[in-house]
Amino acid sequence: MPSGKATSSDVAAAAGVSRSAVSFAFNNPQRISVATRERILAAAEELGYAPSTLGRMLQAGTTGSIGVLLPQGLGRILENPYYSRFLMGAGQVCDQEGYTLLLTPPLQDSVLKAIPYAAVDGFIVCGLEADRGEVAELTRRGIPFVLIDSDRLEGAPSVEVDDRGGAREVARYLLDLGHRRLAVLSMDPGAEVPVRGYRGPLARRLAGIADALTDFGLTMADVRLAEVPVTRSEGYRATVGLMSGDEPPTAVLALSDVLAYGAVDALQELAIKVPAEVSVTGFDDLAESSWFRPRLTTVRQPIVTKGRMAADFLISAIRGEAQHPHQTLGTSLIVRESTAKPA
């Protein structure tokens, strides 16, 4: 019983041939006689030998897997169905093209540090500010990548969503209904906003809301804003805060469905009727949102398609085919039961 680390030299020795012969036996049968091949394979079986994955990858210069560079830990990321859907889309392409998918969370809270530990042919980079160093690092290393949920950047392929249009549409819808006291329940943008301003999808969604407000003679100063991590319980907590004080909002516009669920939880807890007393909207249109009660009014974005395109673009880039394509996907307002005219 070998220690599980038989090498091609061992097999070669056992079969009385050279290491090349061993390699040929596995990858190039026609370059070797049948008898020798059998002998080699028998020896390999005996010793429990199988070609080392790393050895082959190093030699081939390719890993056959694509990395997904994630902005948060796996435990938290996979809690959000948004990412499941996204990975599903990317996974469909991987299935077709025979790639594996390496989920790469930050290392010691640093996305940058995680890069050198991923043996991949390219990265899908999720939800990162495009000028934070990761992009520069990947460029420097010459690793192909595609940006998702980020800012459009020259020289880097990306798949975007019309966040601004979507947010404008849902905000306008609420204003049209007659709501004037809005609360915006937003995802936590990190600590750098004071220095650097909003970035990526968040910036675009806020801009969209501002667009709509302008049409009604309002500004962002007229809405209450809460910024929290994207979990249902944080959405709950923040909403409790938003509803306290004088003149509470008549509509909560959440920038994520998951946050909207939390908002409804809070309102039910406070015995405030949705949508009769307060309207709630989300963003994403997760599958859960049509099951949720009240069925959630939200902005649909094509998450699975986004995943598919990201993987497609990346694989093209890996093959050296594509020239940094950019793609912007549309959104649509899905009106369901969580919104109504203000009381």
Partner DNA sequence: AACTCCTATTGAATCGATAGGATGTGTCGC
Partner DNA sequence: GCGACACATCCTATCGATTCAATAGGAGTT
Residues that bind DNA (CB under 7 A): 5, 7-9, 16-24, 26-28, 30-33, 35-37, 49-52, 54-56, 58-61
* Range in contact with a second copy (rule: CB under 8 A) among 115-123, 196-204, 243-251, 334-342: 115-123
Which of a second copy, DNA, none binds 29 (CB below 5-8 Å, type-dependent)?
Answer: none
| Binds a second copy by CB under 8 A, chosen from 31, 38, 58, 178 | 58
Which of a second copy, DNA, none binds 189 (CB below 5-8 Å, type-dependent)?
Answer: none
Report the DSSP pairing between strands 297-300 and 332-334: antiparallel
Which of a second copy, DNA, none binds 21 (CB below 5-8 Å, type-dependent)?
Answer: DNA
Which of DNA, a second copy, none binds 23 (CB below 5-8 Å, type-dependent)?
Answer: DNA
Please state, in angstroms and rounded to a whole number, the distance separating the CA atoms of residues 321 and 288. Answer: 38
* Range in contact with a second copy (rule: CB under 8 A) among 117-125, 149-157, 217-225, 247-255: 117-125
DSSP 80: S
124: phi then psi, degrees, rounded to nearest 5: -100, 120
| Binds a second copy by CB under 8 A, chosen from 27, 100, 219, 328 | 100
Task: Report angle CA 192, 198, 201 to the nearest 5 degrees.
Answer: 125
Which of DNA, a second copy, none binds 288 (CB below 5-8 Å, type-dependent)?
Answer: a second copy
230: phi then psi, degrees, rounded to nearest 5: -80, 80
DSSP 273: -
For a second copy, the closer of residues 81 and 342 by Cβ is 81
From residue 29 to residue 48, the character string flagging contacts with a second copy as x (rule: CB under 8 A) and all else as - is: -------------------x
Check binding of 231 to a second copy (CB under 8 A).
Answer: no
Check binding of 142 to a second copy (CB under 8 A).
Answer: yes
What residue type is 211 in one-letter code? D
Contacts of 285 (CB under 8 A, 6+ apart): 257, 298, 299, 300, 301, 334
Element (H, E) at 186: strand 182-187
Give residues 188-207 in contact with a second copy (rule: CB under 8 A).
none
C-alpha distance across the termini of the chain, in Å: 78
Nearest distance, CB of residue 285 and DNA, angstroms: 44
Element (H, E) at 161: strand 158-161
Cα 216 off chain centre by: 34
Cα 306 off chain centre by: 9
Token pair recorded at residue 163: 């966040």
Check binding of 127 to a second copy (CB under 8 A).
Answer: no
CB 338 within 8 A of CB 314: no
| Binds a second copy by CB under 8 A, chosen from 13, 19, 39, 103 | 103
Which of DNA, a second copy, none binds 79 (CB below 5-8 Å, type-dependent)?
Answer: a second copy
| Binds a second copy by CB under 8 A, chosen from 13, 19, 39, 79 | 79
Which of a second copy, DNA, none binds 7 (CB below 5-8 Å, type-dependent)?
Answer: DNA
Check binding of 4 to a second copy (CB under 8 A).
Answer: yes
CB 313 within 8 A of CB 157: yes
Please state, in angstroms and rounded to a whole number, the distance separating the CA atoms of residues 21 and 15. Answer: 10
Among residues 189, 322, 338, which one has the least CA distance to residue 252?
338
Nearest distance, CB of residue 7 and a second copy, angstroms: 12
Nearest distance, CB of residue 43 and DNA, angstroms: 12
Give residues 276-335 in contact with a second copy (rule: CB under 8 A).
287-288, 291-293
